[in-house]
Amino acid sequence: PKLVAEHKKNGRPTFSFEYFVPKTAQGVQNLYDRMDRMNQLGPQFIDITWNAGGRLSNLTCEMVNVAQSVYGIETCMHLTCTGMPKSKVDNALKEAYKAGCTNILALRGDPPRENEKWEADPHGFRYAKDLVKYIKSNYGNHFDIHVAGYPEGCDDGTDPELLLEHLKEKVDAGASSIITQMFYDVDIFLDWVRKCRDIGITVPIIPGIMPIHTYAAFMRRATWTKCHIPEKWLYLLEPVKNDDVAVRDIGRDLMVELCQKIIDAGILHLHFYTMNLATATRMCLEGLGLIPSLQERTKALPFRPSLGLNR
């Protein structure tokens, strides 16, 4: 089933989990165990990130296969243009197809190493939209294709309005939903969603939620993505920064408030950046009252994200 399918969940918010590919075989095994446990929380789908070429991208294909066929969970495979000649893109898509995967998050990709300038592979693609078009032209409607959106701009400093136009181009190329970069300021996110709607982007927008694990990780991620931290958050978190339990409790309350505002705006799907850890995500879902009962889970229906903000 596709992520964007008919749904009849009576407006109850749904959620999904992103996992990144661990660097070691032991890490992969640990992640499988964790994924298995986290599936009990009832995600509608999971996604697996893509690294620039090499062994780790083979692992993405393997993990997508295991998640689809062993755990039976709808899995979205990230796929990037970094270091990917068309032949490698073809192989990755073939593997995804064989695994029964029907969802791809098509990305330009990060540079291979930090601080390096991104360069297109001479036999590959330059922009995510080129990858979207290529997947569409080779696989028709087999894959639902998703693309990335940036409520607070991209780290390459592209003008926000131009970035929105580029986002629209990606959607017009055939994407059926947008998954966003993480953010801590919900008003910035909701304002950006309105701007997307104003320029004619009508597909569902799925907010990327980064739960708070520790103060250090919280600050590091804000710096890394250059996202705005509301003053209240710093005021509450800074004084307890050396107490991980207090940070997680306050972090849960802040995240629950953020997610609730999103839900109240009519956006009924939350995408969690789990960072391969269960606790902070689970606490947030518990705080929102979103963990379905066993009975509800056995009756789970295909996922369709709502459009939100009256679209």
CB atoms within 10 A of CB 258: 22
Minimum Å gap between C-beta 45 and ligand FAD is 13
Question: At residue 103, what is the residue type?
Answer: N
C-alpha to C-alpha distance for 112 and 83, rounded to whole angstroms: 8
- The residue number whose beta carbon is nearest to ligand FAD equals 108
Query: Does the annotation count 18 as an active-site position?
Result: yes
Q: Which lies closer to ligand FAD via its Cβ, residue 178 or residue 247?
A: 178
Least distance between ligand FAD and beta carbon 126 (Å) = 7
Does residue 148 contact residue 180 with C-beta atoms inside 8 Å? yes
Contact residues: ligand FAD, CB under 6 A: 49-50, 78, 80, 82, 105, 107-110, 127-129, 148, 154, 156, 158, 163, 166, 169-170, 179, 181, 208
In single-letter form, the type of residue at position 26 comes to Q
In 3D space, the residue among 221, 253, 259 whose CA is nearest the CA of residue 237 turns out to be 253
Amino acid at 77: M
Smallest gap from Cβ 33 to ligand FAD, in A, equals 22
Which lies closer to ligand FAD via its Cβ, residue 148 or residue 284? 148
Nearer to ligand FAD, 49 or 65 (CB): 49
Q: Looking up tokens 């068309």, which residue turns up?
A: 86
Distance separating alpha carbons of residues 59 and 267, to the nearest angstrom: 32
Distances 244 to 134, 166, 252, 287 between C-alpha atoms, Å: 46, 40, 12, 18
Q: Give the shortest CB-195-to-ligand FAD separation in angstroms.
A: 15
208 vs 251, beta carbon nearer ligand FAD: 208
Alpha carbons within 13 angstroms on the beta-carbon side of residue 184 total 24
Residues that are catalytic: 18
